[in-house]
Amino acid sequence: MKYKHSIKAFEKAQKVIPGGVDSPVRAFKSVGGTPLFIKKGDGAYLVDIDGNHYVDFVQSWGPLIFGHSDKTIEKAVIKAVKKGLSFGAPTEIETKLATLICSLFEAIDKIRFVSSGTEAVMSAIRLARGFTGKDDIIKFEGCYHGHSDSLLVQAGSGAVTFGTPSSPGVPADLTKHTLLAKYNDIKSVKECFKNSKNIACIIIEPIAGNMGFVPADAKFLEELRVLCDKHGALLIFDEVMSGFRAHLYGAQSVYATKPDLVTFGKVIGGGMPVGAFGGRAEIMDKLSPDGPVYQAGTLSGNPVAMAAGYASLKKLLAHEDLYRDLEQKAKHLVEGLRLAAQEEGISLQVNAIGSMFGFFFNNKPVHNFADALTSDTQKFAAFHQGMLQEGFYFACSQFETGFISSAMSEAMIEDTIVAASKVFKAIK
């Protein structure tokens, strides 16, 4: 593969955009090489400006469950665009999308739309604090909840990749209310409740995708529920990534535990910038203008973005067995990768739920962030480079999740495994 045009485009971008990118993980820092500049997406494929084609396992970091340029979503967006891009006034499509989501999630009576996952989580936390009248929050090492100040404490995703778990520019006064616990370790959570009587909420990715792919233990989530009830704290499931990805009905259908608030993003916008947070009416009614907790957005519930989200979710609802099919493919892929690696004496830890999958270059199972950090990131980087050369686009960090789209065929999965065998042989 030649990357001549991407290399030139990256040089140009770096002159006017910090690091040449608008979100740090895209810069390929942890795997080396030049980020690919994209010309277009086409179903399961990504096409870069040098004309190279790749099977895309990133899917814009999750949103594109039907692959690129899905015709149904495209049509809905174009129809909406023709009526105007934004009004800053209510439109019926917001109510339609809200009604649909409330009907799918037992824990959600009401929902409000925003423009990103970061905004959704930030707003949910403010609401939890406003509702409980408490200030402290518990988050887990390795979970990523967007880049708002009080959550940039040992955050996962890009922040981990760069080895700077918390960021300059975040006042210690803001993060002192954030207590860190260990994922899948209930003792560490009990410790937090012992240290503070002022805990408003626990926020967790119930199916974590930002320290690599690490699902929570069912018992652990249930114990969080019990602790929250005991101490009058709210349980927030951050399903910005797992929502409509792991399952149509979210983590609530994979686990028995019910959250008080849920946050969404990614798939809910079908590729457009949308986030949302929802929960019981009693909590949501505390939001302005009904209640005292302020939250707002000029472009929130944008009609074009809502049209994309509504078209996506309607299509998902019409193909409920899709998740079984995607999970079969995801499992086929990771099991194939694991066996291919094993043949070359490389240990891979693999996992998949619904259309989400992950693999760690690690000879021990990964249950939390500390485990994830023991993975061989150099080997991952070599794998990533090798797979790009073969025409397969994986997330450019060991600490990310992969996604299957409905545009991917069994044959593509087979081809991926064959290419991976070749790459494993070269990097062992």
Whole-number Å distance between alpha carbons of 240 and 247: 13
- Which lies closer to ligand PLP via its Cβ, residue 150 or residue 210? 210
Print the binding letters for residues 92-131 with ligand PLP: x by CB under 6 A, - otherwise.
Answer: ------------------------xxx--x----------
Q: Which of residues 254-273 bind ligand PLP (CB under 6 A)?
A: 265
Does 145 bind ligand PLP (CB under 6 A)? Our answer is yes
Question: Is 266 marked active-site?
Answer: yes
Q: Which amino acid is located at 56 in the chain?
A: D
Does 44 bind ligand PLP (CB under 6 A)? Our answer is no
Binding region for ligand PLP (CB under 6 A) out of 71-79, 102-110, 235-243, 294-302: 235-243
Active-site hit among 266, 315, 329, 379? 266
- Which lies closer to ligand PLP via its Cβ, residue 37 or residue 140? 140
Whole-number Å distance between alpha carbons of 47 and 363: 34
SS3 of residue 212 by DSSP: coil
Q: How many residues sit close enough to ligand PLP to count as binding (CB under 6 A)?
A: 15
Least Cβ distance, residue 326 to ligand PLP (angstroms):
18
Judge whether 393 and 55 are in contact, CB under 8 Å: yes
Q: Which amino acid is located at 43 in the chain?
A: G
Binding region for ligand PLP (CB under 6 A) out of 138-146, 285-293, 364-372, 389-397: 138-146
- Which lies closer to ligand PLP via its Cβ, residue 54 or residue 144? 144
| Largest distance between two CA atoms of the chain | 61
Least Cβ distance, residue 19 to ligand PLP (angstroms):
16
Question: Using the rule CB under 6 A, which residue among 35, 130, 206, 209 binds ligand PLP?
Answer: 209
Torsion of CA 44, 104, 106, 251, to 10 degrees: -10
Question: Using the rule CB under 6 A, which residue among 28, 144, 244, 399 binds ligand PLP?
Answer: 144
> Is the torsion defined by CA of 230, 233, 238, 243 positive or negative?
positive
Judge whether 368 and 217 are in contact, CB under 8 Å: no
Q: Which whole-number Å values give the CA distances from 285 to 78, 116, 349, in the listed order?
A: 34, 21, 44
Does 205 bind ligand PLP (CB under 6 A)? Our answer is yes
Q: Which whole-number Å values give the CA distances from 55 to 203, 277, 389, 406, 415, in the listed order?
A: 34, 32, 12, 12, 10
Question: Is 54 marked active-site?
Answer: no
- The residue with its CB nearest to ligand PLP is 117
- Which lies closer to ligand PLP via its Cβ, residue 146 or residue 402? 146
Alpha carbon distance, N-terminus to C-terminus of the chain: 22
Least Cβ distance, residue 269 to ligand PLP (angstroms):
9
Tokens of 366: 């990964």
DSSP state of 378: H
Judge whether 193 and 226 are in contact, CB under 8 Å: no
Tokens of 179: 């207590």
* 65 alpha-carbon distance from chain centroid: 12
Least Cβ distance, residue 356 to ligand PLP (angstroms):
11
Least Cβ distance, residue 145 to ligand PLP (angstroms):
5
Active-site hit among 3, 54, 144, 255? 144
Question: Using the rule CB under 6 A, which residue among 210, 362, 397, 406 binds ligand PLP?
Answer: 210
User: Which residue reads 């009904």 in tokens?
Assistant: 290
Binding region for ligand PLP (CB under 6 A) out of 237-245, 280-288, 380-388, 408-416: 237-245
> Is the torsion defined by CA of 283, 288, 291, 294 positive or negative?
positive
- Which lies closer to ligand PLP via its Cβ, residue 70 or residue 238? 238
Binding region for ligand PLP (CB under 6 A) out of 144-152, 216-224, 251-259, 298-306: 144-152
Q: Which residues contact 414 (CB under 8 A, 6 or more apart)?
A: 336
Q: Which residues pair with 304 in a beta bridge?
A: none
- Which lies closer to ligand PLP via its Cβ, residue 45 or residue 277? 277
Does 142 bind ligand PLP (CB under 6 A)? Our answer is no
Binding region for ligand PLP (CB under 6 A) out of 140-148, 322-330, 374-382, 392-400: 140-148
SS3 of residue 134 by DSSP: coil
Active-site hit among 238, 315, 329, 371? 238
269 CB-side CA count, 13 A: 28
- Return residues touching ligand PLP (CB under 6 A): 116-118, 121, 144-146, 205, 209-210, 238, 240-241, 265, 275
Catalytic sites, residue numbers:
144, 238, 266
